[in-house]
Structure 1
């Protein structure tokens, strides 16, 4: 059994004048959402054998917030390919995961993360997939499980989406209207 967790970076700030999209930081709400997801990881005793993340500033700051909320380091490896990656590129990264790892956390961007869920889970495979189709909000954590022994065996429509946790599910003030 192999498990992939996907975490979209938290809400970034469009107010800071940065020259490159890559350098955009989180806004205040994004920082709160990241810490909330980190507390959720701690409460659920979720841990990862491998963590691969985009090196974009908003992803690094998301990981900082998650680690603060979780009360532990996640030990991420930063891979430039994750920045704005397509689903096929993300699948290449999955296939390269160390054979001894059972759980992988990918931390990155949309639409790649959302598209990876659509690629790896069968169409019409449940309520959670429909939620992803509606929207994959910032700082949302998804979990897919695969009945395979090797990462290389993960392929289209072979996974099951078993978790889709948005920050607003844990703290309603992190929802779209902030109430």
Structure 2
């Protein structure tokens, strides 16, 4: 059994219109949400063995804040391939993860993350699946259980969506 955690970057800063998409940082709201979302993960024992993070400034900043909930911080690999990746591109990253990592986290972007959940989750919490079908908002986390011995075996519709949480569902005041 493998566990996959998908963590969408927190709310980005759009105040500097001329900033390239890849270089946008976090808005105040995003900085407020990232830490508590990391604490939620740690508090429930969802500790990744390996984190694959997009190179986008907002994704790296989200994880830099959230990983403060873990001591020591999990191994992190920052990968350009995770930036603007499609569900298939993210699936390829998952399949290339080392077998030693039982729990893998991707820190990235939509629509890739939402599409990946749709691709992988064949079952799971009905309410979480319904909410995810509506929106995978910023700083949201989806946790999937995958019935495989190795990441290379990861296949569509075989996963079970265990949890889906958002800052709003946790009652965080990040406005």
TM over 0.5: yes
User: Which has the higher mean CA deviation after the structures are superposed, 79-88 or 61-70?
Assistant: 61-70
> Residue 47 of structure 2 contacts residue 70 of structure 2 at CA under 8 Å; is this kept in 1?
no
Q: TM-score, normalised by structure 1?
A: 0.91
CA shift for structure 1 position 72: 4.6
Aligned-partner Cα distance in 2 for 1:76–1:172:
26
Counterpart in 2 of 1:122?
A: 122
How many residues matched?
Answer: 175
Structural mapping, 1:49-88, within 5 Å: 49-70=49-70, 72-88=72-88
Q: Which runs of 5+ in 2 are unaligned?
A: none
Which structure carries more strand by proportion?
Answer: 2
Aligned-partner Cα distance in 1 for 2:74–2:82:
17
How big is each residue's C-alpha offset from its partner over 1:6-28, in whole Å with a ceiling of 9 and x where there is no partner?
00000001002443100001000
CA shift for structure 1 position 169: 1.8
CA shift for structure 1 position 124: 8.9
CA shift for structure 1 position 37: 0.5
Counterpart in 2 of 1:39?
A: 39
CA shift for structure 1 position 172: 3.9
CA shift for structure 1 position 116: 0.2
Q: TM-score, normalised by structure 2?
A: 0.93
Counterpart in 1 of 2:140?
A: 140
> Residue 123 of structure 2 contacts residue 160 of structure 2 at CA under 8 Å; is this kept in 1?
no
Counterpart in 2 of 1:164?
A: 164
How big is each residue's C-alpha offset from its partner over 1:48-92, in whole Å with a ceiling of 9 and x where there is no partner?
111101010001110121023446523310110100100000000
> Residue 3 of structure 1 contacts residue 144 of structure 1 at CA under 8 Å; is this kept in 2?
yes
Counterpart in 2 of 1:10?
A: 10
